Structure 1
Amino acid sequence: MTTPAPLLGARGLHVTYPGRRGDAPARAVDGVDLDIRPGEIVALVGESGCGKTTLARALLGLVKPTAGRVGFAGRPLEYTSRALKAYRRRAQLVLQDPSGSLNPRHTVYDAVAEGLRIHGHRGDERAAVAGALSRAGLRPPERFFLRYPHELSGGQRQRVVIAGALVLEPELLVADEPVASLDASVRGEILALLLRLRDELGLAALVVTHDLGLAWNIADRVAVMYLGRIVETGPVEQVLTAPRHPYTRALLSVLPEAPGDPVVLSGEPPDPSRIPTGCRFRPRCPVLASGEADRAGVAEHCRTRDPGLSAEDGEPAGNDGPRVACHWARAAASA
């Protein structure tokens, strides 16, 4: 079966920030390739500080890459004001904290209608707002028009934020920790809403999260990010049931349902201004620390060679099969 062309694609993407007071530059995104296909949900997973939010902002044109390129619907992203305005109608951001995303002085109606007004919508504004609220699960929509954010529950506020994105009829949502601030009882409702929007509207989505459990419940594919790079990616069932990178295994080990003891990573948290030689996960890698990499004959490679994220078994570059940036994992696969 032919794999559909990406709706959104990044190639060799870099975002570097100048160092402060003589510090080295911070390589927040350090050479990322990532595709999102029409109607697909991709989860971007990693610890705080790994670069995932910066990557999401670069994909939306909110941060201009230092190098590399972003393409949408087969065309390169342009950074003129006019081009970005048109792009952001087709690709919408849903932020983590709905309370911070909504102006407390604006009614629900005005919050959802804001995008229409910015983009000069010429149709029936009231019908568009009502339709977006209804699709976001706030029914009957007219009941919410004149309410203010403080009069809503956390889940309702997040639905208003989602409605504000849907009102422009985008093709892609980028959701940054969309349920992190919500109670557990509401999280499932919002995740079910995102899945329903994918099924009914054909929406693609990039869901940024630190929670691999969330990725399991919502994503078609998962990309695990560490220190500015994707270190493992593939179909969610393969990556999360048979993780190959030691970092992915460590993230999975702390889930409540995970068997065995959690893997505690040693060393300092990732610092994008101090990327080590060789494998960037090397200073915290339990496989290297335990001697397993030595026994596999790859320890010196771990210390001196960047493994990169390569296709397995000669797969073509456009294939969505699993990939891993780990010398030890590749040695284990070929043993």
Structure 2
Amino acid sequence: MTVPPPPPPLLGADGLEVTFPGRRGAAAARAVDGVDLAIRPGEIVALVGESGCGKTTLARALLGLVPPTSGRVTFDGVPLGYSGRALKAYRRRVQLVLQDPSGSLNPRHTVYDAVAEGLRIHGYGGDERAAVTRALSRAGLRPPERFLLRHPRELSGGQRQRVVIAGALVLEPELIVADEPVASLDASVRGEILALLLRLRDELGLSALVVTHDLGLAWNIADRVAVMYLGRIVETGDAEKILTRPQHPYTQALLSVLPEAQGDPVILSGEPPDPSRVPSGCRFHTRCRILASGEAERAGVADACRTEDLPVLAGDDGTRVACHWATAVAAAPPSSSETSATTEAERG
């Protein structure tokens, strides 16, 4: 049976770079450095990495809030334009959900005004009250009439986050970008907000890019995962494959510290390098346990790790990884013990 090809991406980045000039003669910082990324209709993609890896800058570039130094952003197959009119039209279809609802809601505005703000900016010509109550209901604030005249201080943290989500939904976008959407919430409320995002995907066909440092969150919500390190996507693919069979040592380290992980956690040494001084070779090699332990030497790739940059390469299972060691291991023939085990299993 022929497997149909995946649908074309709704939102895409092609060779995207964002460089910030250095201060007082310092070298420029490559915050986003040649990123390719695609989000398909009705799909949730988790963009994961440590603080400072460039994921928020990438999200802002995808939203048109930061112009790329090179490369392009496309939406529905059309390159993003940066005129005021083009960006206004684009942001009606792509909405941002911020991390801290307390900081993104004006304490003097009622819930009604907070949710209606987008409608007013875009000159909505329909029934404003009906649109606001529909968005609140979709965000799980029911009955919506109970919340219209409340102020943020009268709401719980989870309710405030739902108001922020309602403000994004009121324009009926096709995609939302959620930057650490549950980082400031209690554990019990986190689960409710994640369940809400999944329900919105299932009921409305809403696509989402969820930016997070937490691979556990990605495990619970994402269809696909993109792992980012020092401005680059170093591993990407279906969430189940990435989270159960990670190939890149960086992904393995991030997963090892989750509460449900088996074995000892991998503690990354030091901090990520300064994006204005990206190391030669693999940009992760200065913190890589595979290189430090001699495994890369035994695989014959240690010199390449230190000197040769590597693009993200496709794997046999649909994942993509930028790692000399992972590529060498995948290409190596099975050992005699592995071959014998396979033969015995086939006989059994």
Q: TM-score range by the shorter chain?
A: over 0.9
Per the TM alignment, residue 240 of structure 1 is displaced from its structure 2 partner at its CA by 0.4
- How do 1:165-180 residues align onto structure 2 when only pairs under 5 Å count? 165-180=168-183
Selected match of 2:153 from 145, 150, 153: 150
SS in 1 for 2:267: coil
Runs of 4+ in 1 over 3 A off after TM superposition: none
Answer yes or no: is 1:283 the counterpart of 2:280: no
- How do 1:57-136 residues align onto structure 2 when only pairs under 5 Å count? 57-136=60-139
CA contact (8 A) 2:49 2:227 kept: yes
Separation in structure 1 between the aligned mates of residue 266 and residue 219 of structure 2, nearest angstrom: 19
Larger Rg: 2
Matched positions, count = 329
Answer yes or no: is 1:270 the counterpart of 2:270: no
Residue aligning to 2:325? 328
Answer yes or no: is 1:255 the counterpart of 2:258: yes
Alignment RMSD: 0.8
- How do 1:290-305 residues align onto structure 2 when only pairs under 5 Å count? 290-305=293-308
Q: TM-score, normalised by structure 1?
A: 0.97
Q: TM-score, normalised by structure 2?
A: 0.94
Structure 2: state its 5+ residue gaps.
Answer: 333-348
CA contact (8 A) 2:10 2:40 kept: yes
Separation in structure 1 between the aligned mates of residue 299 and residue 272 of structure 2, nearest angstrom: 26
Q: Deviations over 1:226-256 (max 9, x none)?
A: 0000000000000000000000000001101
Q: Look up the equivalent residue of 1:25 and give its one-letter code.
A: A
Q: Percent identity?
A: 83
Answer yes or no: is 1:192 the counterpart of 2:189: no
Q: Deviations over 1:49-80 (max 9, x none)?
A: 00000000000100000000000011000000
Residue aligning to 2:167? 164
Per the TM alignment, residue 311 of structure 1 is displaced from its structure 2 partner at its CA by 1.5
Q: Look up the equivalent residue of 1:27 and give its one-letter code.
A: R
Separation in structure 1 between the aligned mates of residue 284 and residue 17 of structure 2, nearest angstrom: 18
Structure 1: state its 5+ residue gaps.
Answer: 316-320
SS in 2 for 1:10: strand
Answer yes or no: is 1:244 the counterpart of 2:247: yes
Residue aligning to 1:318? none
Per the TM alignment, residue 21 of structure 1 is displaced from its structure 2 partner at its CA by 1.8
Answer yes or no: is 1:215 the counterpart of 2:213: no
Per the TM alignment, residue 269 of structure 1 is displaced from its structure 2 partner at its CA by 2.4
SS in 2 for 1:9: strand
